[in-house]
Amino acid sequence: MKTKVALVHRKEIPGATEDKRDVLDFPSNSVDAIKEMLAEAAKIAFNGFKSIIHSNSKVFIKPNCFGNVPPEVYASVDPRVMEALCRLIKEEVPDCFLQMGDSPSWGKILGGSRDSLTTTHLEMAARKGGADEIVYLDETPLVEVPVPNGKILKTVKTFKPLVEADILIDFSKIKTHLQGLVSLSLKNWNGIIPWYADEKHCLSDSFGSIPDSMEGSHRSELGQKVVDLIKAVPPTINIIDGIICLEGQGPARSGKRVDLNTIIASKDVVAADAVACSVMGIDPFEVQAIRVAHSEGIGEAELKNIEVKGASIAQVRKYFKRPVNDPAAAIAGIDVYQAGTCPGCMVMIRSALDDFKREMLESGKEINLEVGILAGWNVPSPVRDYKYFFVVGNCWSYSPTSNAIKSYLKKLEEKGSRVYRYPGCAPIYICKLMFEKLKKING
């Protein structure tokens, strides 16, 4: 029997404005229409929520709440879809105990759970939809759970409310992602692990060395780590918000809006992501997390073995612009020296540069900088001088070229240049700190 995935699409959602008003000031019939789509998707994928959720069950919705950014950034699930999902579940199973919560992917560096769920409007939407409790996961106890057949993670510390839930709903969003190519159901599960460091600890050499933490998971092997997390705490059902999506330099502010008006649902987390990728014009096997999950038997990624019901992939498909994660020449005047750089540092540098470029364009300011950035293993020492120089990560300091680089940095500082050091492996926090520093020195 083929794996079943629901693909529900509408040509238009009531209240659609193609600007930020449709997620900030929307009519009630917009939520009604999305609820109808969710009901259709749930009926197709698993015969409705009442077939999965029993009386007095504890149900936990784990959305993609990117961080402390507003709805019109389109980085988190749509508040309309959140309200509609909560309403639908409470209508079908009124006596279930419905919880909603998340731990944002950049922890308290970009605002913790409490601020993020407020700013994204997801807390308000869930309450309007009838959720019984909002859970700020980063304020809850951690429990250690085993990872069956874990390849990188043998045990995982996760949030107690997730382990205690009878039903776990993986509620993700369709968007591209600088590090994972896409952010869908599998990537959303990265939010079930904690962010340990505060901003002070981020600037230490040990930052990111804990593999089952948010900091460590983004260093490298992200796809395999996400799959290990799915093994440890498997979601019951998967809902993907494809109403308003992001393409290009996602997963946040530097991505571009795509109106897709689509809901995807399945009991198979891999199949749901495979269909979502295909809708985006991306071969599912290009995505490491999907490829690994399929090979390990977590779910089905071969489209020939997936029964897509509702709309067809061809009817819905839009070819999404892919993210570029290489920071070289992203901005004229900013030179990046990055030999041997892992995905962690490379992507975080690119994200900081994207956000800086976007803000300068939006503010009408010209970029007039001569800046050097260095990260990676065995990076040749630069030969030209810079007024401002950024040194990212730890690898360079252990490599065969470390002495030459240290000598170069010393000479820069002796000439009066400013050298900014961001240690760690990988230093996710530089998306914020480097961005802010570049804004300051650009004037």
pLDDT at 153: 87
Is 246's pLDDT higher than 90? yes
Residue among 275, 246, 241 nearest 258 (CA): 246
pLDDT digits 0-9 by tens, 351-367: 999 999 999 999 999 99
- Tens of pLDDT, residue by residue over 191-211, are 998 877 555 555 555 545 566
Q: With a cut of 70, say whether residue 106 has pLDDT above it.
A: no
pLDDT at 430: 82
DSSP code string of 136-169 = EGGGS-EEEEE-TT-SS-SEEEEEHHHHH-SEEE
User: How would DSSP label each residue in 262-301?
Assistant: EEEEES-HHHHHHHHHHHTT--GGGSHHHHHHHHTTSS--
Beta bridge partners of 242: 262
Rounded average pLDDT over 333-341: 94
Please answer whether residues 285 and 301 qualify as being in contact, where contact means their C-beta atoms are separated by less than 8 angstroms.
Answer: yes
Contact 7, 279 (CB under 8 A): yes
- Integer angstrom CA distances of residue 114 from 67, 68, 232, 431: 10, 9, 25, 21
Amino acid at 289: A
Q: pLDDT category, 219, cuts 50, 70, 90?
A: low
The pTM for the full model equals 0.95
* pLDDT of 257 above 80: yes
Lay out the sheet containing 418-422: strands in order across. 334-337, 371-375, 388-392, 418-422
pLDDT at residue number 443: 87
Residue 337: CB partners within 8 Å, gap ≥ 6? 372, 373, 374, 375, 376, 379, 380, 382
Q: What per-residue confidence (pLDDT) applies to 269?
A: 98
**Average pLDDT score over residue span 333-337:** 97
pLDDT tens by residue, 163-195: 999 999 999 999 999 989 999 999 999 999 887
Each residue of 42-99: pLDDT tens digit?
999 999 999 999 999 999 999 999 999 999 999 999 999 999 999 999 999 999 999 9
The tens digit of pLDDT for each residue in 265-289 reads 999 999 999 999 999 999 999 999 9
Tell me the average pLDDT across 100-123.
88
Q: Nearest to residue 390, comparing CAs of 437, 350, 429? A: 437
Q: What percent of the chain shows pLDDT beyond 90?
A: 82
Average pLDDT over all residues of the chain: 93
Q: Outline where 286-401 has alpha helix (H).
A: 288-295, 313-316, 343-363
For the chain, state the CA radius of gyration: 22
Q: Classify the C-alpha dihedral 155-159-160-161 as positive or negative.
A: negative
Q: How many residues does the chain have?
A: 443
What is the reported pLDDT for 183? 97
Predicted confidence at residue 333, as pLDDT, reads 95
Percent of the chain with pLDDT over 70: 93
Helices 79-92 and 28-46 pack at an angle, to 10 degrees, of: 60
pLDDT of residue 284: 98
pLDDT of residue 431: 84
Give the separation between CA 77 and CA 198, rounded to whole angstroms: 26
217 is written with which tokens? 């998971």
Q: Which amino acid is present at 278?
A: S
Confidence of residue 212 (pLDDT cuts 50, 70, 90): low
